[in-house]
Amino acid sequence: MKLVRIIVLSGILYLRLVFGEINKEEACGFPAIYNFGDSNSDTGGKSAAFHEVQPPNADRLDLPYLSAYLDSIGADFRNGANFATVGSSILPGGYSPFYLGVQISQFLQFKKRTILLSNLTITNSKRFSSKVNIPKPDDFSKAIYTFDIGQNDLSYGFQHTHEAQVRASIPQILDNFTHAIHQLYTEGARNFWIHNTGPIGCLPYSVISYPLKPQGLDATGCIESQNEVAREFNKQLKDKISHLRKELTYSAITYVDIYSAKYKLISTAKKQGFGDPMKFCCGWYNNGYEVACGQTTVVNRTEYGKACSDPTKYISWDGIHYTDAANVWLANSILNGSFSDPPVPVEQSCTHLSTRV
């Protein structure tokens, strides 16, 4: 069985393209993946740009991660690169300086230098090693381009403005997003795998600090008004993708409803083998006081913030990010196309070209 393993959801969620049951004629055989996003798909960008991420960081999965673009020393880019970094947003001015426009610029620079180095290798074959850890120039048009970004645009807005203003900003956010897709298409990208934004109102961190409990919560315990904004974002994103399919004639764009997948997991947590979805494994929040994951504090002789003993029973790792176990559940749920439009598995997502729609 031939395996192509791809990491795209957080430092711990993986997309594994398994070619075995599917005929060669039906499988796309993507030679590389280029990922753009935030901490939901950061596999080392933060540690490369700022400081090393301390364990635990999903080592127990023992899976090959995409090399972070910012961590270029000794990296292997033959199967793609990850431009995602923690806190990134689509618009500039949020939590991170590495917003989507910067990530696209990094990709364009990466592609330009890859082609230059490839040409130098061919021209000076005797002077260069036969093993160069860069993709083949032809791989850029055959690769799959994945996106999981936008949640921080909403989160930052909720923290610094009002929900009505966040909702009003959605068209501008998505205009910037579609501009990025156009840029990549102009550079030869054809296969796009795009996640919508998740149920931000279900993050335990959000619920803890929400002042209108319990009236503003839904039956699952999520903040209904924030989830309404997320759903509006997703509705407009899906409309934008419909237009992109018409404009980008030779593209294959898959819209993945990660919102529904995550909400299903949260709302049926016990059925899926998890505990209370509003509890988290690591860190502590109380009345504006925070203890980050990896740290502890003692209040009235009681220690807070210590990681739980069994993360496999938790959906949330630190109140914001999902655990390994939750991410594996999500990956298994979305890879077969059950939450996709069109409903095709990821390894066949190159077969629904816009010219056929």
What radius of gyration, in Å, describes the C-alpha atoms of the chain? 21
140-175, pLDDT tens digit by residue?
999 999 999 999 999 999 999 999 999 999 999 999
Handedness of CA 77, 81, 82, 83 (dihedral sign): positive
Q: What is the mean pLDDT of residues 209-224?
A: 92
Q: Which of 10, 39, 260, 340 is catalytic?
A: 39
148-220-211 Cα angle (round to 5) = 85
**Residue predicted with more confidence, 12 or 300:** 300
What percentage of the chain reaches a pLDDT higher than 70? 78
**Is residue 125 very low, low, confident or very high in pLDDT (cuts 50, 70, 90)?**
low
The catalytic residue among 318, 324, 340, 352 is 318
Is residue 318 annotated as a catalytic residue, yes or no? Answer: yes
Give residue 342's pLDDT: 95
Q: Above 50 in pLDDT, residue 15?
A: no
Q: Say which of 10, 88, 251, 321 is annotated catalytic.
A: 321
Could you tell me which residues are beta bridge partners of residue 275? Answer: none
The lowest-confidence range among 1-15, 115-129, 166-180, 255-269 is: 1-15
Please check whether residue 32 is in contact with residue 191, taking contact to mean a CB–CB distance below 8 angstroms.
no
Give the pLDDT confidence of 306-318 residue by residue, as tens digits.
899 999 999 999 9
289 vs 107 pLDDT, higher one: 107
175 token code pair: 């205009």
Tell me if 244 sits within 8 A of 184, measured CB to CB.
Answer: no
Please determine, for residue 93, whether its predicted confidence score (pLDDT) is greater than 80.
yes
To the query of whether residue 67 is one of the catalytic residues in this protein, the response is: no
Q: Can you give the pTM of this predicted structure? A: 0.84
Parallel/antiparallel/unpaired status of strands 340-341 and 252-256 = antiparallel
Catalytic residue check, 175 = no
**What confidence category does residue 48 fall into, taking pLDDT thresholds of 50, 70 and 90?**
very low
Among residues 139, 108, 144, which one has the least CA distance to residue 252? 144
